[in-house]
């Protein structure tokens, strides 16, 4: 059985996190013409957050190579019926496991670490957007589907 190690991300992981995000969307069937503009915008968004420590995350390595990762940031959010005394939510994003390492419990490991970290901060509510492939993993960990909706506004003319 391969040996895996898990560690917290650092600013030096910028390229890895960008690669994982790109691969995640590509695996979900996102076309290149949609990925290309997001790629540059995401990198510009992520770099200062890594430096400031406001984008958190963990990476799984196999023989020293990063093969899986997850990100998390803390949202300032008004108290809600699901977290009436907490003004924060933990948002999980960029969960990715390289195809040849899937099915080995790595996504579960990353989710347990991020959940434990949110708990250590006193956060009681976490949210994520799941791919079809990810839904069963999250459901087994106790995550529930919500009724969230979204709207994309046209660019200003």
Q: Is the model's pLDDT at 1 over the cut of 70?
A: no
Query: Does residue 14 fall inside a structural domain?
Result: yes
The pLDDT of residue 147: 87
Query: Does residue 148 fall inside a structural domain?
Result: no
Calculate the average pLDDT of the chain: 95
Contact 113, 56 (CB under 8 A): no
Three-state SS for 53? Answer: coil
Q: Is the model's pLDDT at 68 over the cut of 60?
A: yes
Query: Does residue 68 fall inside a structural domain?
Result: yes
The pLDDT of residue 104: 96
Average pLDDT over residues 117-133: 95
Three-state SS for 81? Answer: coil
What is the reported pTM?
0.92
* 69-94 tens-digit pLDDT: 999 999 999 999 989 998 999 999 99
61/105 Cα distance (integer angstroms): 13
Query: Does residue 145 fall inside a structural domain?
Result: no
55/81 Cα distance (integer angstroms): 26
Q: Is the model's pLDDT at 150 over the cut of 70?
A: yes
Residue 107 belongs to domain spanning: 4-140
Percentage of the chain surpassing pLDDT 70? 99
The pLDDT of residue 145: 92
Average pLDDT over residues 9-16: 98
Q: How many CB atoms lie within 10 A of CB 4?
A: 16
How many structural domains does the chain have?
A: 1
Query: Does residue 151 fall inside a structural domain?
Result: no
Per-residue confidence band for 155, with pLDDT thresholds at 50, 70 and 90: confident
Alpha helices for 8-157 (secondary structure H): 14-27, 32-52, 106-120, 135-140
In eight-state DSSP terms, residue 13 is: G
Query: Does residue 153 fall inside a structural domain?
Result: no
Token pair 């076309």 in the structure block, residue:
31
Instruction: Report the Cα–Cα distance between both ends of the chain, in Å, rounded.
Output: 56
Q: Is the model's pLDDT at 45 over the cut of 70?
A: yes
CA dist 52 to 10, 101, 103, Å? Answer: 10, 31, 33
CATH number of the domain enclosing 127: 3.40.630.30
Query: Does residue 85 fall inside a structural domain?
Result: yes
Query: Does residue 149 fall inside a structural domain?
Result: no
């Amino acid at each position: 059985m391969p040996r895996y190690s898990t560690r917290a991300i650092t600013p030096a992981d910028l390229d890895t996190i960008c690669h994982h995000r790109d691969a995640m969307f590509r695996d979900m069937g996102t076309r290149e013409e949609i990925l290309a503009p997001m790629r540059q915008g995401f990198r510009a968004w992520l770099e200062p957050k890594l430096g400031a420590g406001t984008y958190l995350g963990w990476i799984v390595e196999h023989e020293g190579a990063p093969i899986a990762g997850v990100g998390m940031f803390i949202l300032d959010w008004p108290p809600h019926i699901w977290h009436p005394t907490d003004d924060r939510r933990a948002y999980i994003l960029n969960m990715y496991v390289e195809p040849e390492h899937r099915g080995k419990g790595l996504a579960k490991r990353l989710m347990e670490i991020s959940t434990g970290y949110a708990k250590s901060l006193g956060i009681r509510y976490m949210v994520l957007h799941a791919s079809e492939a990810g839904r069963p993993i999250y459901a087994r960990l106790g995550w529930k589907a919500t009724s969230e909706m979204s709207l994309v506004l046209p660019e200003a003319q």
